A and B are shown apart, each in its own frame.
Chain A
């Protein structure tokens, strides 16, 4: 009798837990799917590069990107562009919100991962390891290709 009661309690507890969303939420690193990621090939003399990607939060809980690191640059930050006072202004973004069930696109002219103080120049054919840290503390490391800047065909 005592055991049955225990099992029942456990069952009721599990069912309650399953109903409350946060209780069974996975971590961001597992739930955020990253697609179409690439690093932009950098002209000689340039000290910066950028990475672009599509981040999809397949989970049921909001996540956020809070940090990035890579051997490519001494400093890796998230940046955005705003058109203001007739100027294109690039500003650091401390956090990229990834609401549940949506996707966020990092693309030229908008949000991007910015690499500063390049340790080497990313060239076509190279790959770059990039570690992304989420607000819940989970991390994911992706290895992404270096691609030519969009719109630019190779010289004929």
Chain B
């Protein structure tokens, strides 16, 4: 590679970086959903203790969707507690516009009734949803959520389920606005919720 080629390669690399930085800046700065997010998520209907619930039932509200299971002793309660901490910081008029959904990735053990009792412990505005294996798998695929029952013959009825621990923040138009990762503080949920409420 001679000097001139090296120079041209450096310029090309620089221009590429400018385009990437500008692109990311544009995506972060724009209002409404990031274009790629429109492909993630979407409508679903699952079962609650009070009957079928569709995501579109909450159109006009900001919806938090988390995937988990009641047998989970640590990760799920930690996430739900952080969401609860966030919800408790909202003003009543803000809270009235927010709904939280826990979708079970363990339909064999999590009945709608069990889920209802479980989520109520965290916040009265939460709803727990489950369905058939096929229905859960379809929703997980829509949201690019991975889950897998741990095959351990010794675990018996005490098996655990590996799962993605991301919480989805859905805008009033039912389109994904942002993601909140496991380990987030209540303040991070407040900020994600308020951003979505303002959209």
The answer to whether A and B assemble together is yes
Residues of A within 8 A of B164 (CB): 86-88
- Segment touching A, from B7-15, B29-37, B117-125: B117-125
Residues of A within 8 A of B165 (CB): 87-88
Q: Is B147 an interface residue (CB 8 A)?
A: yes
Q: Is A40 an interface residue (CB 8 A)?
A: yes
State the Cβ distance, B130 to closest chain A Cβ, in Å.
12
Q: Is A108 an interface residue (CB 8 A)?
A: yes
B75 touching A109, Cβ below 8 Å: yes
State the Cβ distance, A134 to closest chain B Cβ, in Å.
23
Q: Whose C-beta in chain A lies nearest to the C-beta of B68?
A: A88
Q: Is A3 an interface residue (CB 8 A)?
A: no
Q: Is A63 an interface residue (CB 8 A)?
A: no
Residues of chain A at interface, number, CB under 8 A: 34
User: Knowing A87-B162, A153-B88 touch, does A81 contact B81 (C-beta < 8 A)?
Assistant: no
A81, B183: Cα distance in complex, Å: 12
B155-194 interface bits toward A, Cβ cutoff 8 Å, 1 = contact, 0 = none: 0011010111100000000000000001101100000000
State the Cβ distance, A123 to closest chain B Cβ, in Å.
10
Q: Is B74 an interface residue (CB 8 A)?
A: yes
Q: What is the number of contacts between chain A and chain B, taking CB atoms within 8 Å?
A: 110
Residues of B within 8 A of A79 (CB): 73-74
Residues of chain B at interface, number, CB under 8 A: 41
Q: Is B16 an interface residue (CB 8 A)?
A: no
Q: Is A95 an interface residue (CB 8 A)?
A: no
A108 touching B163, Cβ below 8 Å: no
A79, B82: Cα distance in complex, Å: 21
A152 touching B75, Cβ below 8 Å: no
User: Knowing A45-B115, A89-B162, A90-B160 touch, does A152 contact B85 (C-beta < 8 A)?
Assistant: yes
User: Knowing A43-B121, A151-B81 touch, does A87 contact B146 (C-beta < 8 A)?
Assistant: yes
Checking B78, B118, B162, B183 against A149 with a beta-carbon cut-off of 8 angstroms, the contacting residue is B78
B61-94 interface bits toward A, Cβ cutoff 8 Å, 1 = contact, 0 = none: 0000000001111110110111011001000000
Checking B71, B81, B113, B117 against A152 with a beta-carbon cut-off of 8 angstroms, the contacting residue is B81
User: Knowing A117-B158, A152-B84 touch, does A109 contact B74 (C-beta < 8 A)?
Assistant: yes
Segment 80-112 of B: residues with Cβ below 8 Å from A: 80-82, 84-85, 88, 109
Checking B71, B147, B150, B185 against A46 with a beta-carbon cut-off of 8 angstroms, the contacting residue is B71
Segment 43-82 of A: residues with Cβ below 8 Å from B: 43-50, 75, 79, 81
Q: Please report A residues at the B interface, Cβ cutoff 8 Å.
A: 40, 43-50, 75, 79, 81, 84-91, 108-109, 112, 114-117, 149-153, 155-156
Given pairs A85-B162, A88-B165, 13 additional interface contacts (CB within 8 A): A43-B118, A43-B122, A45-B114, A45-B117, A47-B109, A79-B73, A87-B148, A90-B72, A90-B162, A109-B75, A151-B78, A152-B84, A155-B123
Q: Please report B residues at the A interface, Cβ cutoff 8 Å.
A: 70-75, 77-78, 80-82, 84-85, 88, 109, 113-115, 117-124, 146-148, 150, 157-158, 160, 162-165, 182-183, 185-186
